[in-house]
Structure 1
Amino acid sequence: MMSAGRGYVQVYYGDGKGKTTAAIGLAVRATGQGLKVLFLQFFKKNITGELISLQYLPGITVYQFGSGKFIFNRHWQEEDHREFLMGWEMAKKTLKGENYDLLIMDEFLYAFTYQMLSWDDFFPELDTRNPKLEVVLTGRKAIPQLIEYADLITNMTLIKHPYQQGIPARKGIEY
């Protein structure tokens, strides 16, 4: 049963733009209300405009775990796996701890897609988390078990994007 005093599990997934942006918007809202936020970005290494901006906000801590190559070529290397495991260890400590109010695990859903983590290994950590901790998971594909478990799910669906017309990512808009 949901209650206002406990932290929920939110999932932003799909092939549309806006998953990370939505998670960052929530982080900004949370820090504006005095909450402490840990933003863990998996499988990426590029410095984007939103990550640059987050460093100026009190109460938000950001870490990236990845080679930066995986997101573009979809072939993970041992380095990506090592980076993922380091981030996952930090996430597990945060799930049990009381240092943060909001844990964002950006692009984390790739861990399930590429079998770096199973639901059976993930679920006990999530289900026994600090009950006040809000958790946000983002990525392209959400596994059925997570969809069943999560409290809030948003599917970002791509309808139309300038990429489809051959227009490259624009500084300040897409990154």
Structure 2
Amino acid sequence: MAERRGLVLVYTGEGKGKTTAALGLVLRSLGRGYKPRVFQFLKHERAAFGEHRALERLGVPIEGLGDGFSWRSRDLEKSAALARAGWQRAAGAIASGEWDLVVLDEVTYPLNFGWIPVAEVVGALRSRPRHVHVVLTGRDAPAELVELADTVTEMKKIKHAYDAGVPAQKGMEH
């Protein structure tokens, strides 16, 4: 019989849909009676985008750990400190075994900025309880995560409305 265990999935690439794919797994896991939890490394703690409102209604904990789009930050050390503190919270959730699915949304950004050590994340993924699934999203996933992951999907942008001057739309991008 095939092995049943928690998986590590990575959604990366320049295209739209990484967070949406991760949230689709949250929805699917809820339908099977699993306990999912979502950590968003760029969104701030008071974010109220569409996914926050929906997951709140479904009783899924979603936590903004950042201060918005970090590359626009006026205080990068504060952004880095938020990312490090957020990682400690997320790592604790993974290690606890309380959650069947943990989403680390936009985690590649603080990893690539050097704010969170990639080796620390890899270690946490390797030592997690056997049943815990973890999804990591964001552009430019580090090679170490790609190598460790069970499933890696790269989103490729073909065309995006934003490039034609169409702003982000409620219910589509936020």
Q: 1:144 and 1:115 mapped to 2: Cα distance?
A: 14
- Residue 50 (structure 1) aligned with residue 51 (structure 2): yes
Superposed displacement of residue 13, structure 1: 0.6
Partner residue, 2:65: 65
Q: 2:63 and 2:171 mapped to 1: Cα distance?
A: 20
CA RMSD of the aligned region, Å? 1.6
The answer on whether the counterparts of 2:122 and 2:148 sit within 8 Å (CA) in structure 1 is no
Q: TM-score if structure 1 supplies the norm length?
A: 0.91
Counterpart amino acid of residue 126 in structure 2: D
Q: 2:150 and 2:73 mapped to 1: Cα distance?
A: 29
The answer on whether the counterparts of 2:12 and 2:139 sit within 8 Å (CA) in structure 1 is yes
Counterpart amino acid of residue 148 in structure 1: E
Q: 2:25 and 2:3 mapped to 1: Cα distance?
A: 17
Superposed displacement of residue 74, structure 1: 7.1
Q: 2:75 and 2:22 mapped to 1: Cα distance?
A: 24
Q: TM-score if structure 2 supplies the norm length?
A: 0.92
Q: 1:130 and 1:76 mapped to 2: Cα distance?
A: 36
Please show how residues 88-103 of structure 1 align to structure 2 within 5 Å.
88-103=87-102
- Residue 137 (structure 1) aligned with residue 129 (structure 2): no
Moved over 6 A (4+): none
Partner residue, 2:168: 169
Q: 2:148 and 2:113 mapped to 1: Cα distance?
A: 20
- Residue 28 (structure 1) aligned with residue 16 (structure 2): no
For structure 1, the 5+ residue unaligned runs are none
Q: 2:99 and 2:126 mapped to 1: Cα distance?
A: 17
Deviations 1:65-87 (A, max 9, x none): 1111415x377622211211221
Deviations 1:30-53 (A, max 9, x none): 111110011000022232112211
SS at 2:162 equivalent? helix
